[in-house]
Chain A
Amino acid sequence: MSIEVRGVGKRYGDFIALDDINVSLPTGQLTALLGPSGGGKSTLLRIIAGLESTDGGSVEIEGVDATKLPPQKRNVGFVFQHYAVFKHMTVAKNVAFGLEIRKRPKAEVKAKVAELLELVHLSQFAHRLPSQLSGGQRQRLALARALAVEPSVLLLDEPFGALDAKVRKELRDWLRRLHDEVHVTTVFVTHDQEEALEVADEIVVINEGRIEQIGSPDELYDEPANDFVMGFLGAVTRLGPLRLRPHDIEVAVTPGVPGSSAGVVLRALRVGFEVRLTVDVEGQEEPVLVVLSRTHARALDLELGSRVWLSPTTGATAVPVLGVASA
């Protein structure tokens, strides 16, 4: 295990940011800490990095008890949401910083910087100042700078949070490829479930200072431990006694499927390739959301006021609605 967190807690006055967190993160993996804003995931990451103190418990990095170590002794690389690049230094100087602090020979520093700038595709910008780079480039610079000291773990705090959607997506793919190349144990914090599902080997879902579930993206998506995890990983709707995903509902324009519920289409919204239907189902107060492809919807000839019969798709992920009498 690369990182062992045992019984870690953190309070700010009355507010409990983290409550008795226990988690082990295996070596060489890319782990996502996923959860809503203010859920405590960034605090946990900062405690691992030593940028924040823990109220109790211990943090072990690569078998060494790091609980009382200052950040500069932990050998972790940390990447901040807002890059935290050194504005007065050139790109190359930024990357060289950690090595120069460690008093490595000049030739070695130069070679390492060149190698890293190549890795993050910033070689041609080596002599520019960070202010001349775009947001995505700055974040890649921050990553190269963190990797330069060959950290035992790489920690990223909402690394793509400040970037626009397109750059975000590019960097996400790039991070995954980079991790496959470098294999350094990486933990990143995100509130974007798509980002976590797409990039991470393992996801730790954190909410209100507690861990809700730990598992691979598939496990989390297919077997959510509870309502919260299911709702956080994607859209959820209710059909009869079940909670399930809107795209896991079969739509028929004729009755006949056993156990199907009859309803009327209230709204139809087309977004790109998909059509989102709001269906008023008989005997159920809250309307059902259904998502189907544009082609499918056209084939069924659906429009406002159409009568439809809904049933869960075979093999759909569904959890029973708790404490509510089924219709």
Chain B
Amino acid sequence: MADTRQIRARKGPVTYLLRAFVIAYLAVLVIWPLFEVAQQTFAPADVGDEGGVGAFWERLSDPSVTYAFNLTVTVAFWAVLINTLFGVGISLLLVRYQFPGRRILSVLVDLPMSVSPVVVGLALVLAYSTGKGWFGEALASVGFYVIGTTPGLIMATAFVSLPLVIREIVPVLEEIGADAEMAAHSLGANGWQTFRRITLPSIKWAVVYGVVLSMARSLGEFGAVKIVSPGAEFRGETATLLIQNRYTNYEEPTAYAAAFVLVLASVLALVVVSLIRKEDHS
């Protein structure tokens, strides 16, 4: 760390040039558009209307908007929960065990990151819809419908954000190695005791970090959800779908208000992550 600090301490014209470039780049790409969203959120809807926090609050307390945010939070909660449990399990499997097909599994885990979410949604519809998919038919016969219901939304969201948890945990598991776990075994601890007392405390921050990232991703998921959800008011309309629907229906102020809330949630997630990073390094 001492070395990088030394490099940073040397300030020449190039340093300032680079700084200016980075700031300009971020401004054009991120800051200015987001600022516009914030401004529109608090702007009066029409000439003569009232703007500010009051109007913003009024738009958010519309029942359909509350429904959308409730649904988004529910979906994100379950998706993150499922991803955390599976993520920790799959990470342990990938790092600690040798088995045929391990590398293929490792590649498959990354797939949701590279495949477009729309394709994910489409695939889920094909596999689970009662019309086309045989699996969906079988599930429907026992009264469990996936497509067009909340479980379907959770599934699509979990699929898309699965790698985020795993990619945080795997490097940490690799770095800490298996020695401490083996030591715990030789001291008489069984698998569960070793996991709870030795492994989990070591990967704690990686798990929290992964949870925050996949939470942020789940709140903002659009493509996959768009395909599997009926997407109508009070019927599977999540916050992102609401934004799109209102925007195309000329109800832009509500769209901006909802968008602003999502931005706030992301910023909050980033703050949490940077705080964890600091904690982790100390």
Interface residues of A (CB under 8 A from B): 49-51, 70-72, 74-78, 80, 82, 84-88, 97-98, 101-102, 142, 145-146, 148-149
Contact = CB atoms under 8 A, between A and B. Distances in A.
B242 to A, nearest CB: 43
Interface in B181-195: 182-190, 193
A49 B188 contact: no
Contacts, number: 61
B179 interface: yes
Contact of B187 (A70, A80, A88, A97): A97
B198 interface: yes
Contacts of B186: 49-51, 71-72, 74, 76-78, 146
A145 B182 contact: no
B237 to A, nearest CB: 44
A98 B183 CA distance: 10
A51 B185 contact: yes
8 contacts: A72-B190, A77-B187, A84-B179, A87-B202, A88-B201, A102-B188, A148-B187, A149-B188
A75 B179 CA distance: 17
B132 interface: no
Interface of B: 179-180, 182-190, 193, 197-198, 201-202
A146 B183 CA distance: 9
A283 to B, nearest CB: 55
A71 B180 contact: no
Given A87-B202, A145-B183, A145-B187, 7 more contacts: A84-B180, A85-B180, A86-B184, A87-B180, A88-B201, A101-B193, A142-B183
A78 B202 contact: no
Nearest to B189: A101
Nearest to B183: A84
Nearest to A78: B186
Contacts of B184: 86, 97
Contacts of A82: 179
A85 B186 CA distance: 13
A258 to B, nearest CB: 59
A86 B196 CA distance: 13
Q: Which 4 pairs show the lowest CB-CB distances between chains A and B?
A: A84-B179, A98-B187, A78-B186, A84-B183
B220 to A, nearest CB: 33
A71 B183 CA distance: 9
Nearest to A73: B188
Given A86-B198, A98-B187, A101-B188, A78 B180 contact: no
B187 to A, nearest CB: 4
A146 B185 contact: no
A319 to B, nearest CB: 41
Given A97-B197, A101-B193, A78 B182 contact: yes
Nearest to B184: A97
B188 to A, nearest CB: 5
A72 B182 contact: no
A70 B189 CA distance: 11
B177 to A, nearest CB: 8
A70 B201 contact: no
Nearest to B194: A72
Given A72-B188, A72-B190, A102-B188, A88 B202 contact: yes
Residue in A88, A142, A148 with the greatest tally of chain B CB atoms within 10 Å: A88
B189 A72 contact: yes
Contacts of B190: 72
A294 to B, nearest CB: 44
Nearest to A157: B179
A259 B171 CA distance: 67
Contacts of A84: 179-180, 182-183
B100 to A, nearest CB: 14
A76 B198 CA distance: 19
Contacts of B179: 80, 82, 84
B245 to A, nearest CB: 48
Contacts of A51: 182, 185-186
A278 B188 CA distance: 55
A89 B187 CA distance: 15
Given A97-B197, A101-B193, A86 B180 contact: yes
A190 to B, nearest CB: 18
B138 to A, nearest CB: 40
